[in-house]
Structure 1
Amino acid sequence: MAEFVYVNGEFIPKEQATISLFDHGYLYGDGLFEGVRVYDGKVFELLPHVERLLSGARALGFPLGDLDETKAFEAIVATCRKNDHRDGYIRVNLTRGTGLGLDPKHIEPKVNFVIATRQLALYPPELYEKGLDMITCSTRVPSPDAIDARIKCTGKYINNILAKMEANRVGAGEGIMLNQQGHVAEATGDNVFILNSDGVFVTPHPSAGCLKGITRGVAIKLLREQFGCVVVEENMTLLDIYSAKECFLTGTAAEIIPAVSLDERLIGDGKPGPNTAKLIEAFRAYTKSTGTPISS
């Protein structure tokens, strides 16, 4: 079956799909993106992804025209249907428009909206069983007076890429990124949670410089509503992770994955914790019970 890419309202065979060399996202990183999952023919948490995408576009002053949440939502579902994409990953990109030069007044005032379906596995299956070893990266997240981390814009991810390269150089599964004040913000591609010695789950507040992740929100919901746990969003330092009973990361591609060490210090007993294991099981069940069907 031929695979198609959605480009500005048209379905184009993947091999023929292109954007202009003067696309502002390509030239300047002036764009936004979302990664969305499909489980068994249902798109997972699609509305929150679409809302975050267009909220970011409005915050950056993109010329959206008639593109709204409904049209974006329907385009993503239609792309999955067109490709019979029943399990896997959806990549959604939105850029300011086309034209050379930084000044948005001098470019075509029309966004470029692209949707593609792919298969993606961020971590090998065995790491979900044994857990990730992590390091602290020297690369910091951008300060919120530069760009708010809740805006999932492409340009700011150069910091995450550089931090991931640091982790790769020492063979670590992930890297923890701090903000300018030394508080934990996020991992290079995921949100961070710990279970502390008081039995409270803690995750950095978005104001610390982390993305307000969709899977992060689902994890908070499951912990509170299904397990009756206390979950707080507050500042966290490296000491909080070093001394935690359990640690796990969340993200669309990673889902929920345990972390068992940071900077060669074991977290808890150095094995995935029982509460993390229960949450992973609950999350996988939740993905099967909810979502937007791609069938017409």
Structure 2
Amino acid sequence: MSAENQKHIPSTHDSEHDERNDNLKIYVDGELLPKQDAKVSVYDSGFMMGDGVWEGMRLYKGKLAFVDEHLERLYESAYFLDIDIGVSRDEMKAILKLTLDANNMSDNAHVRLMVSRGRKTKPFQDPRLSQFGSTIVVIAEHSVVREDTANTGVTLATVPIVRGLPTTQDPKLNSHCKLNCIMALNHALKAGANEALMLDPH
């Protein structure tokens, strides 16, 4: 399918338009910044190397669904990658609440929590070059699934890109490096599907 035709395939990440998302406050390392001013350094290891972990959560009726399970995976992934998040789980919950409250959110919101190894002194992969502590970013958006997607569902295409082995890139880690998933979705879109069905190496 041509690139032009792919533009008309609905994304599973689409949501109903909400003007409130134009004026969000984003949490960046202890500050709540207007959306247009929220930035990290070009030397940040997450931007430069995909060196970080993340979680995506939904807010329903004032509660983040499965928040303890999400934080368990976040902290386990960071431990596996030798990333010191720098705050406790309770402190992270407080950061999430602070961000939600700043945006007057109590229901139907999506939260993306991202933690990188932090800013580097030089643009190379050596993790010891990240010498300034972790970078923590929280993006919370008002998010309701598109009505047409809810009514019609989505289509899948089985793709040749497979999930990684634990000895290469462990798929159990929600790392910032999503390149294999992006490649898989590109294959699915070219096949006219909404999403990719990835198999394991076996």
Normalized against structure 2, the TM-score is what? 0.81
Post-superposition Cα deviations, 1:59-105, rounded to whole Å, max 9, x if no partner, equal: 1001233x121111111011101111222111111000111221111
| Structure 1 match to 2:17 | none
Matching residue within 114, 130, 135 for 1:112:
135
Judge conservation of contact 2:85–2:115 (CA < 8 Å) in 1. no
Say yes or no: does 1:125 pair with 2:112: no
Tell me the distance in 2 between the aligned counterparts of 1:104 and 1:71: 25
Report the AA paired with residue 119 of structure 2.
T
| Structure 1 match to 2:49 | 28
| Structure 2 match to 1:141 | 163
Tell me the distance in 2 between the aligned counterparts of 1:61 and 1:92: 18
- Once the two structures are aligned, what percentage of the paired residues are identical? 26
Say yes or no: does 1:102 pair with 2:110: no
Tell me the distance in 2 between the aligned counterparts of 1:133 and 1:26: 31
Unaligned 5+ runs, structure 2: 1-19
Matching residue within 71, 75, 84 for 2:91:
71
Tell me the distance in 2 between the aligned counterparts of 1:39 and 1:5: 20
| Structure 1 match to 2:13 | none
Task: Provide the aligned length of Structure 1 versus Structure 2.
Answer: 178
**With CA pairs under 8 Å and 6+ residues apart, which has the higher RCO, 1 or 2?**
2
Tell me the distance in 2 between the aligned counterparts of 1:131 and 1:112: 36
Normalized against structure 1, the TM-score is what? 0.56
Post-superposition Cα deviations, 1:104-161, rounded to whole Å, max 9, x if no partner, equal: 112214000000111346x643444444332210111111111222110011x11111
Matching residue within 20, 24, 34 for 1:3:
24
| Structure 2 match to 1:19 | 40
Tell me the distance in 1 between the aligned counterparts of 2:183 and 2:103: 33
Query: Which protein is richer in strand relative to its size?
Result: 1
| Structure 1 match to 2:111 | 90
Say yes or no: does 1:50 pair with 2:71: yes
Report the AA paired with residue 140 of structure 1.
V
Judge conservation of contact 2:24–2:141 (CA < 8 Å) in 1. no
Tell me the distance in 1 between the aligned counterparts of 2:37 and 2:155: 41
| Structure 2 match to 1:151 | 173
Judge conservation of contact 1:137–1:167 (CA < 8 Å) in 2. yes
Tell me the distance in 2 between the aligned counterparts of 1:38 and 1:4: 16
Unaligned 5+ runs, structure 1: 182-296
Tell me the distance in 2 between the aligned counterparts of 1:39 and 1:49: 15
| Structure 2 match to 1:61 | 82
* Aligned CA-pair RMSD: 1.8
Q: Which moved more, 1:166-175 or 1:20-29?
A: 166-175
